[in-house]
Chain A
Amino acid sequence: MSNLLKVSSSPHVRAKDDTSRIMLYVIIALMPTTLFGIFNFGLRALLLVAVCIITCVLSEFLFEKAVGKKSTIKDLSAVVTGLLLALNLPHTLPVWQAVLGSVFAIVVVKMLFGGLGQNFMNPALGGRVFLLISFAATMTNFEYDGVASATPLALLKNGEAVNTLDMLIGRCGGTIGETSAICILIGAIILILLGVIDLTIPGVYILSFAIFIILFGGHGFDATFLVAHLCGGGLMLGAFFMATDYVTSPITPMGKIIFGICLGVLTGVFRIFGNSAEGVSYAIIFSNLLVPLIEKVTVPRAFGVVRPKKVKEVKSNE
């Protein structure tokens, strides 16, 4: 019987992109902001990036070994998590804290919930928020050019002036990967051109956040204030690289829009009405929790199907 041919259900061809290739695209798109971060903050930044990536990959490998599962480190998703976590840390953070955050991100947020595709919140942000709560002092210790300095958002919060040009380029204090809006946008364009993300979530997020700032920011339509808020903090990095995380964002087209609005409003609330100058991380992980609900109410109408409401009405009339 060995000369019988292989059979399988159609289709018999597959597209080129697989999971590890998509992850590789994300890593490539993160390179401009990573390199700028290293240039901006020095070798300490490079050390943290390396530590986070190695710890993430190693903890995924060891966890899977421990529970007797097949290793999935080849899909590069742990590399992306490590890189994103590092970009969300201040370059002054002690190495052991970075290691702890990476282990938390992979083991607690990702692997304990079933590994890739099953986590309900973005692992990198889960790790960052864990560190932010545990080590508030070192996580908000921002230095620039060797001098302890407030981030532009903290300055804004206190009503001080900021230099928006420096913020666009990234020559200011902040976490390793969040300061340069231009580098992040270059990465975003790479992702969009490679078809990894579409503009829906980041577009709606940034737009609704901008509207929120104009309405409730207390400055009306003040271009400098608006640009400072858009480029400041983790908004750009969060909008393009973390809110668009496939696993933790809605799959339905309408859901993506609602998700984006949630993000924009929550970020606005946290930044304007909250105590902290920052809000992006919390906004994203809160919205991650809403995803199952959002998806449930945004099941798209199938092609050619009459809106279900009308169908129900007709039935009840009968």
Chain B
Amino acid sequence: MGLKTFKGGVHPYDGKELSKEKPIKDILPQGEMVFPLSQHIGAPAVACVNVGDMVLRGQKIADAGGFVSAPIFSSVSGTVKAIEPRRVATGDMVNSIIIVNDGKFIETGFEKCDDYTALTSDEIIKKIQDAGIVGMGGAGFPTHVKLSPNNPEKIEYIIANCAECEPYLTSDYRSMVEEPEKLITGMKIILSLFPNAKGLLGIEDNKNDVIKSLTELTAKEPRIEVVPLMTKYPQGGERQLIKACTGREINSKMLPADAGCIVDNVATINAIYTAVVEGKPVIDRIFTLTGDAVMEPRNYRICIGMSCKEILEAAGGFIREPAKIISGGPMMGFAVMDCDIPTTKTSGALLCLSEDEVSKFETTACINCGRCVEACPENLIPSRLSKFSDHGDKEQFESWYGLECIECGSCSYACPARKPLAQSIKTMKKMVLADKRKK
């Protein structure tokens, strides 16, 4: 077949049919908006508005807290009500700016750019930085940092992560169907920063229609190529995607740039287009609301800062009693105890399931079957790592490469003894890394 992929991985039920056919629908927020100051990797942003201030849609409300950080913008017009800790999807309390939406959506006015080719590299990176763009696939790493490697001429591949390997999620798919020109132009903008790079669009073959349409659209772009990938989780994992697209391997201590690659996902590249061409900061995003418990599973264009609860209500609420609500996809998302949490730049989905598979099953003894080994995309022995974790054996954990775990959850998924392998490995990883930082 010649489809590119990596070794390992699993094939969970993908649930994409729930939401993939319906066009993206706009939802305008009515209620209170919450903007956590830490919605990216790096230093938290610093509020630059005060309680009582009037703000406009698109106005900066928090400055970047350093180079590895990103500013935050209001997605509505209204009044700053408070700056206080609020609960976010991960369960943490994070200092947030609360804005009362006046419902008028008065914008600051965005400065359009008709010809991005006239911009210098520094100007483009400045625009990306000033728009507050971070990895919108979930990681939240500030994009301007990623696009400023030490040797730009040594970057050989810009890889667009169009895999969308998480089950149930279809936001990248819908945006590739509805606005492919954003992705392509966004890619061209990134390519203009790296003279020796080739643009690769890595797409799983469960999106054959997109593979076809993007191949046609990029036929006249000599620097852009569509790479069909095998449908397998975690095909969109950064290291797995690089391996599939280029054959190169990186480990936990390397950056993609060390292998001459930069990886950005679809939503991030679209945001780059929006920032550079339309002059608009990160205030909207495409959001998949799905699962068998919701009335209308589909993709919505939401204003960042909206509460998940409000999105749910606007979409018709529940059709069944939800047993579990997950911010993100079923493999790596966070289960939330309440859906009154704000959406951030990295929130791609809310998955509401009427049945919780995990609490249904009982954990039994490990029978050493090796399914976790087959599933692990990092070539690890998860069952053993989990044992080292249970015994608190940090030394063995490290020597069996425990720190290479990418936390994709494939091992827990595959385990016939229903052991929470990924959970114990993640816990141990955190402890070992914390020790290292102390030293």
Partners in one complex: yes
Q: Chain A interface (Cβ within 8 Å of chain B)?
A: 4-15, 17-19, 21-22, 72, 75, 77, 115-118, 246-247, 249, 251-253, 295, 299-306
Nearest 5 Cβ contacts at the A-B interface = A11-B409, A302-B401, A304-B251, A304-B249, A117-B365
A256: nearest chain-B partner, CB-CB: B370
Nearest neighbor of A11 in chain B, beta-carbon distance? B409
Residue B416 at the chain A interface, CB threshold 8 Å: yes
Which residues in B have some Cβ–Cβ distance to A below 8 Å?
A: 6-7, 10, 12-13, 91, 167, 239, 243, 249-252, 254, 322-326, 328, 330-339, 353, 356-359, 361, 364-371, 373, 377-381, 383-384, 399-401, 404, 407, 409-410, 412-418, 420, 422-423, 426
Verify B420–A9 contact, CB threshold 8 A.
Answer: yes
Contact B412 A251 (CB under 8 A): no
Which of A6, A18, A304 has the most CB atoms of chain B within a 10 A radius of its CB? A304
User: In the assembly, what is the distance between CA of A302 and CA of B420, in Å?
Assistant: 21
A188, B331: Cα distance in complex, Å: 33
Q: Please tell me which one of the listed residues B13, B325, B368, B399 contacts residue A117 in the complex, with CB atoms under 8 A apart.
A: B368
Q: Knowing A5-B323, A11-B409, A11-B422 are in contact, say whether A21-B416 is a contact too (CB < 8 A).
A: yes
* Chain B residues with CB below 8 A from A13, complex form: 12-13, 167, 330-331, 357-358, 413
User: Apart from A7-B335, A299-B401, what are 4 other A-B pairs with CB-CB below 8 Å?
Assistant: A11-B330, A116-B367, A117-B417, A304-B251
Bound form: Cα–Cα A83–B381 in Å: 31
- List, in ascending order, chain A residues with CB within 8 A of B414's CB: 15
Contacts of B400 in A (CB 8 A): 299
**Minimum CB–CB distance for B146 against chain A, Å:** 19
B335 contacts across to A, CB distance below 8 A = 5-10, 12
The reply to whether B361 and A18 form a contact with Cβ atoms under 8 Å apart is yes
Partner of B418, one of A14, A77, A253, A299: A14
Residues of B contacting A11 in the complex (Cβ-Cβ under 8 angstroms): 330-332, 409-410, 412-413, 422
Write out the residue numbers on chain B whose beta carbons fall within 8 Å of the beta carbon of A304: 239, 249-252, 254, 378, 404
Q: Determine the chain B residues whose CB is within 8 A of the CB of A8 once the complex forms.
A: 324, 335, 356, 358-359, 420, 423
A19 near B361 with CB under 8 A, answer: no
Q: Is the CB of A300 within 8 A of B338?
A: no
CB distance from B275 to the nearest CB of A (A): 31
B373 touches A247 (CB 8 A): no
Q: How far is the CB of A317 from chain B (nearest CB, A)?
A: 19
Q: Are A10 and B422 in contact (CB under 8 A)?
A: yes
Q: Which residues of B contact A118 (CB under 8 A)?
A: 365
Are A301 and B379 in touch, CB under 8 angstroms? yes
- Contact yes or no, A6 B365, CB < 8 A: no
- Find out whether the CB atom of A302 lies under 8 angstroms from the CB atom of B413: no
Nearest B residue to A251, CB-CB: B370
In this complex, the member of A7, A18, A22 whose beta carbon has the largest number of chain B beta carbons within 10 angstroms is A7
In the assembly, what is the distance between CA of A87 and CA of B32, in Å? Answer: 71
Give min CB distance, A316 to chain B, whole Å: 17
Interchain CB contact under 8 A, A19 and B239: no
Closest B residue, CB atoms, query A77: B367
| A–B complex contacts, Cβ < 8 Å, 25 sampled | A5-B325, A6-B335, A7-B324, A9-B335, A10-B326, A10-B335, A11-B413, A13-B12, A13-B358, A14-B357, A14-B358, A14-B361, A14-B412, A19-B416, A22-B369, A117-B366, A249-B368, A295-B384, A299-B401, A300-B379, A302-B401, A304-B250, A304-B378, A305-B251, A306-B251
Chain A residues with CB under 8 A of B353: 12
Q: Quote the shortest CB–CB distance from B288 to chain A (angstroms).
A: 15
In whole angstroms, what is the CA distance A304 to B378 when docked?
8
A118→B387 CA distance, assembly (Å): 13
- A75-B364, A303-B377 known; A12-B249 Cβ under 8 A: no
- The residue on A at minimum CB distance from B250 is A304
Residues from chain A with a CB closer than 8 A to the CB of B7 are 303
- Bound-state Cα–Cα, A305 to B404, Å: 9
Residues of A within 8 A of B370 (CB): 246, 251
Q: Tell whether, in the assembled complex, residue A300 and residue B367 are in contact, meaning their CB atoms are under 8 Å apart.
A: no
In the complex, what's the smallest C-beta–C-beta distance from A166 to chain B, in angstroms? 36
Smallest CB gap from A3: residue in B: B338
Q: Tell me which of A5, A72, A252 contacts B364 (CB under 8 A).
A: A72
Known: A5-B338, A117-B366. A252 touches B381 (CB 8 A): yes
**Bound Cα distance from A18 to B380, whole angstroms:** 21
CA distance A318 to B62 in the complex (A): 46
Query: Chain B contacts of A17 at CB under 8 A?
Result: 371, 416
Alpha-carbon separation in the docked complex, A249 to B369 (Å): 9
**Contact across chains for B91 and A7 when beta carbons are under 8 A apart:** yes
A139 to B322, CA, bound (A): 60
Quick one: given A251-B383, A304-B251, are A15 and B416 in contact (CB under 8 Å)? yes
Q: How far is the CB of B173 from chain A (nearest CB, A)?
A: 19
Chain A residue at minimum C-beta to C-beta distance from B404? A302
* CB <8 Å contact, B13 and A10: no
- Give A76 to B231 CA distance when docked, in angstroms: 34
Assembly CA distance A121 to B336 (angstroms): 44
Do the beta carbons of B333 and A10 come within 8 Å of each other?
yes
With both beta carbons as reference points, the residue of chain A lying nearest to B335 in the complex is identified as: A7
| A315 CB, min distance to chain B CBs, angstroms | 14
Chain B residues near A306: list those with CB within 8 A.
251
Question: Are B334 and A303 in contact, with the CB atoms below 8 A?
Answer: no
Closest to B424 in A: A9
How many whole Å from B387's CB to the nearest CB in chain A? 11
Shortest Cβ distance from A308 into B: residue: B399
Closest approach, in angstroms, between the C-beta of A285 and any C-beta of chain B?
Answer: 16
In the complex, the answer to whether B381 meets A9 with C-beta atoms within 8 Å is no
In Å, the complex CA distance between A72 and B363 comes to: 12
Residues of chain B contacted by A253 (CB below 8 angstroms): 373
The interface residues of chain A lying within 8 Å CB-to-CB of B10 are 15
Bound CA span A287–B438, Å = 44
> In the complex, how many angstroms separate the beta carbon of A258 from the nearest chain B beta carbon?
15
A19 interface neighbour in B167, B323, B331, B367, Cβ under 8 Å? B367
User: A117, B251: Cβ atoms under 8 Å?
Assistant: no
Docked complex Cα distance between A249 and B368 (Å): 8
B167 and A18 contact, CB distance less than 8 A: no
In angstroms, Cα B408 to Cα A13, docked, is 12
**Does A6 lie within 8 Å of B356, measured CB to CB?**
yes
A303 in contact with B379 (CB, 8 Å): yes
Q: A303-B378, A304-B249, A304-B251 are in contact. Are A6 and B401 (CB under 8 A)?
A: no
A12-B353, A116-B365, A251-B383 as given contacts; A6 in contact with B418, CB under 8 Å: no
CB-CB under 8 A for A251 and B381, given A5-B337, A10-B335, A12-B326: yes
